[in-house]
């Protein structure tokens, strides 16, 4: 208990950021028309690709002779980039169709 409390105090600001972000996420999505669920899902999917930054950091810190780290890190960078780039491109492709139809 003591432990948890002091952990919370030490990371107070982190907790605020997390909790506020949860509110933002919920509020932002709150009233979406179901027509947009698919592009929204894939757009959100692309955003969590931000994890690639962790991969880059891991990779960039690995010593040149630590092959395990290098290989795993390289894989992580590739997969993370896939998630980001693929996610944004596929979302854009979907939304492009929506848009061009509307202008007509």
Q: Taking a C-beta distance cutoff of 8 angstroms, is the pair 39, 91 a contact? A: yes
Instruction: Report if residue 34 touches a copy of itself, rule: CB under 8 A.
Output: no
**73 burial via Cβ count (<10 Å: 0-12, 13-18, 19+):** buried
Q: Taking a C-beta distance cutoff of 8 angstroms, is the pair 16, 47 a contact? A: no
- If the CB atoms of residues 25 and 54 are measured against a copy of itself, the closer one turns out to be 25
Residue whose pair of structure tokens reads 């939304």 in the numeric block: 95
Q: Which of residues 9-28 bind a copy of itself (CB under 8 A)?
A: 13-14, 16-17, 20-21, 23-24, 27-28
Instruction: Report if residue 65 touches another protein, rule: CB under 8 A.
Output: no
Q: Which does 2 bind (CB under 5 to 8 A by kind): another protein, a copy of itself, none?
A: another protein
Residue span 19-58 as binding mask against another protein, x where in contact by CB under 8 A, dash where not: xxxxxxxx-xxxxxxxxxxxxxxxxxxxxxxxxxxxxxxx
For 62-83, the DSSP string reads S-TT-HHHHHHHHHHHHHHHII
The contact set with a copy of itself (CB under 8 A) reads: 13-14, 16-17, 20-21, 23-24, 27-28, 30-31
């Amino acid at each position: 208990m003591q432990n948890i409390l002091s952990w919370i105090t030490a990371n107070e600001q982190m907790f605020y950021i997390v909790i506020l972000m949860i509110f933002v996420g919920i509020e932002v999505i709150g009233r979406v028309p179901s027509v947009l669920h698919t592009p929204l899902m894939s757009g959100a999917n692309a955003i969590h690709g931000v994890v690639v930054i962790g991969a880059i950091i891991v990779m960039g810190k690995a010593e040149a002779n630590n092959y395990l780290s290098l290989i795993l890190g390289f894989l992580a960078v590739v997969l993370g980039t896939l998630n980001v780039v693929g996610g944004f491109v596929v979302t854009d492709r979907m939304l492009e169709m929506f848009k061009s139809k509307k202008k007509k």
